Amino acid sequence: MSSIPMATKSAKQKQIERHDVFVGYVLGLCKDNKVRADLRTGLGLPFERCNYLHRYLVPRLPERQHPDVRRAHYAVAALIAGRPRSARDADAEAVADGSAAVQDWWKRPNLGASLAEVVNRKALKPGSAEGDLHLMARQSSDAIHPRLPSLVQHVLNRGVTVDWAILLDDLSWWNRDRDRIATRWLESYFRTRTLEDHNDSQEENE
């Protein structure tokens, strides 16, 4: 009797799982206040100017790595280090739960979905969120990286989580596949917003 072969993981899924490992490493580093402060100095900067991050990240990254991918790793490490205390607690619970790592990567929330959640909580006007998404869709990573710290901080301060591994992957490919990634962010944003509007409509009709 022949056995049914197990589904193989896609290259993208394997990449996201590697990103999860990196995120877990950075979350562990951030338990140390001194290390977290060092990593936070890289917020919004190109990795060439992140002098205090090299000692922690160089050992974890390949020697030969596309500059966009390296910059994305440095950026996400700094963003994780810059989280408010409430977000640090939420990330600790997520790591303990471990559920994110077993999901198909495309089911996990990207930045568009996170912004929609902030809007759904009435903590950001739809026009502002959509304006940010449309603006980033037209910009290179040189323009969006400096914007990310304040945008992500706004999301986290409203109690909405950021999937760091998905953000890391999107930033890694942004300059080479911007249209596809920006479209996915917009689709996720409007899908999440539409679901909220549908739920509100149902409550009004009950």
Domains present along the chain, CATH in parentheses: 11-205 (1.10.520.40)
CA distances from 95 to 27, 49, 88, 144 (A): 9, 30, 11, 27
Nearest-5° angle of CA 99, CA 103, CA 104?
A: 170
Residues whose CB is less than 8 angstroms from the CB of residue 159 and which lie 6 or more positions away in sequence, other chains included: 86, 90, 121
What is the structure's pLDDT at 196? 64
Tell me the pTM.
Answer: 0.88
Q: Which two tokens stand for residue 65?
A: 């790595």
What is the structure's pLDDT at 88? 81
| pLDDT, one tens digit for every residue, the chain (206 residues) | 444 444 577 899 999 999 999 999 999 999 999 999 999 999 999 999 999 999 999 999 999 999 999 999 999 999 999 999 888 877 766 655 555 555 788 889 999 999 999 999 999 999 999 999 999 999 999 999 999 999 999 999 999 999 999 999 999 999 999 999 999 999 999 999 997 665 555 554 45
Integer Cα distance of 177 and 175 in angstroms: 6
What is the structure's pLDDT at 90? 72
Instruction: Kindly give the residue spans of alpha helices, DSSP state H, lying in the chain.
Output: 11-29, 33-40, 54-57, 67-81, 85-97, 111-120, 126-137, 141-144, 148-157, 164-205
Cα dihedral 7, 12, 162, 133 sign: negative
